[in-house]
Amino acid sequence: MSVDSIYFSPDVEAFRTRTRRFLRGHVTPHLQEWESQRRIPRDIWRLFAEEGLLGLHYPRAYGGRELSFFHSVAYLEELGRLGNGGFRGAMSVHSYMATTYLQMAGDHCQKLKYLKPAVQGEMIAALAITEPQAGSDVSGIRCAARTQGDRYVIRGSKAFVTNGLNADFLVAAVRTGDGEGPGGISLFVVDARAPGVTRTPVEKLGWHCSDTASVEFDDVVVEADQLLGRKNAGFLLIMKAFQLERIAAALLAIGETDCALELARTYANERRVFGSAITGHQVVRHRLAELMSHTEAARQLAYHAAWLHSQGKLAMSQCAMAKLRATELAVEAAGQCLQLFGGHGYLAEAPIAQLFRDTRLVTIAGGTSEIMREIIAESEL
């Protein structure tokens, strides 16, 4: 859909066109191969860095481009439109989730050591918050660090770490305070190859090209200068960073819905049943029209949340609404669009089948729909 928008300058639109061409040229042709290899080659991060895509919103001092936030909005939508959850997951965790903590809380040395190489595609970043026993309830994490002189020694388990195998460093949430609850959590940058770090791949329903790992920290020694921000102040940082994560999740999901609708529109216009194209049947035309209007509503909600974020506002409720609406729609749209393909949509290699598998994750990762509803209810009721 192309319409004038209050959010996008001609400059951003030109960037979007360039980025779409880049993604279609350098990513789309390889996705099937990466899906079967269960891995994205490291070179792709370097290629993205050369195109300037890994540091759109980061300062020039650390290799970034300091572009408007709506450049990131366009990039995230286009990543989603590739129609591959694993790929967009890997790239967005790197740029809009893991490295966010370095930008928010890292000092100059930490930014030079980790953020700059990540923006330049020389290092791959991962975020390790979730644990086998604690996902939605971040305050329940158990992975803990004890002090040993000036150093910390980390022990515990992390689950579902995107880029877990490819990563050079992990931003990890670790308990440093006594007792339980949100008060005693800190964030550390942990070298992924440090002694005591074990990474084990996990097999998933979808997101096949994204390397997801379980990570064990078995007395991993980290220096005091690997602590991000203040000791025991990690929980607030995580809650703040989640806002960007949710805006990104919404935009990526909208891109995926665009992709599902485009696949369905093309197929339903060509495939003939009972003497006419599938779209010749009113029930189908109306279903697609309905999904398209829901997509536009979700898109505008996500743009509004993105605009609030770009104005420096902490808009927890709007970010949660954007994530909830866009991700629930992505799951619904993938199912409804698959239906229009009949049996051809059920073939493992069909792009719509892959979207169906991949989008199932979006209402779970980055905060489940139930948690989004809780956040909205907390602030609105």
Beta-bridge partner residues of 38: none
Tokens 């074990």 belong to 198
Closest separation in Å from C-beta 109 to ligand FAD: 25
Q: How far apart are the first and last CA of the chain?
A: 35
Cα 277 from chain centroid? Answer: 37
Secondary structure E strands in 223-294: 227-228, 272-273, 276-277
Task: Identify whether the C-beta of residue 104 lies closer than 8 Å to the C-beta of residue 57.
Answer: no
Q: Which two tokens stand for residue 246?
A: 């949710």
Classify strands 169-175 and 125-128 as parallel, antiparallel or unpaired.
parallel
φ and ψ of 39, to 5 deg: -165, 145
Helices 10-26 and 69-81, interaxial angle, to 10°? 30
Q: Which is nearer to ligand FAD, 106 or 135 (CB)?
A: 135
C-beta nearest to ligand FAD: residue: 135
Per the CB < 8 A criterion, the answer to whether 301 and 329 are in contact is no
Residue 129 φ/ψ, nearest 5 degrees: -110, -50
Please state the closest distance from residue 163 (CB atom) to ligand FAD, in A: 7
Closer residue to ligand FAD, CB minimum distance, 202 or 297: 202
- In this complex, which beta carbon is closest to ligand FAD, that of residue 166 or of residue 279? 166
In angstroms, the CA 363 to CA 331 distance is: 8
Among 245, 262, 328, 349, the one annotated catalytic:
245
Q: Considering the complex, state which of residue 353 and residue 365 has its C-beta at the smaller distance from ligand FAD.
A: 365
Burial class (CB in 10 A: 0-12, 13-18, 19+), 120: middle
Q: How far is the CB of 189 from ligand FAD (least distance, A)?
A: 15
Least CB distance to ligand FAD at residue 83 (A): 17
Annotated catalytic residue 245:
yes
Label the pairing between strands 212-222 and 151-162: antiparallel
If you ran DSSP here, which 8-state letter would residue 112 be given? I
Shortest reach from residue 154's CB to ligand FAD, in Å: 15
Q: Nearer Cβ to ligand FAD, position 215 or 305?
A: 215
Q: Nearer Cβ to ligand FAD, position 74 or 215?
A: 215
* CA-based nearest residue to 237, from 69, 363, 98: 98
Query: Residue numbers of the site for ligand FAD (CB under 6 A)?
Result: 93, 127-130, 135-136, 160-162, 204, 207, 212, 361, 364-368, 370-371, 374
Rounded least distance, CB 73 to ligand FAD, Å: 21
Q: Which residues are catalytic?
A: 245
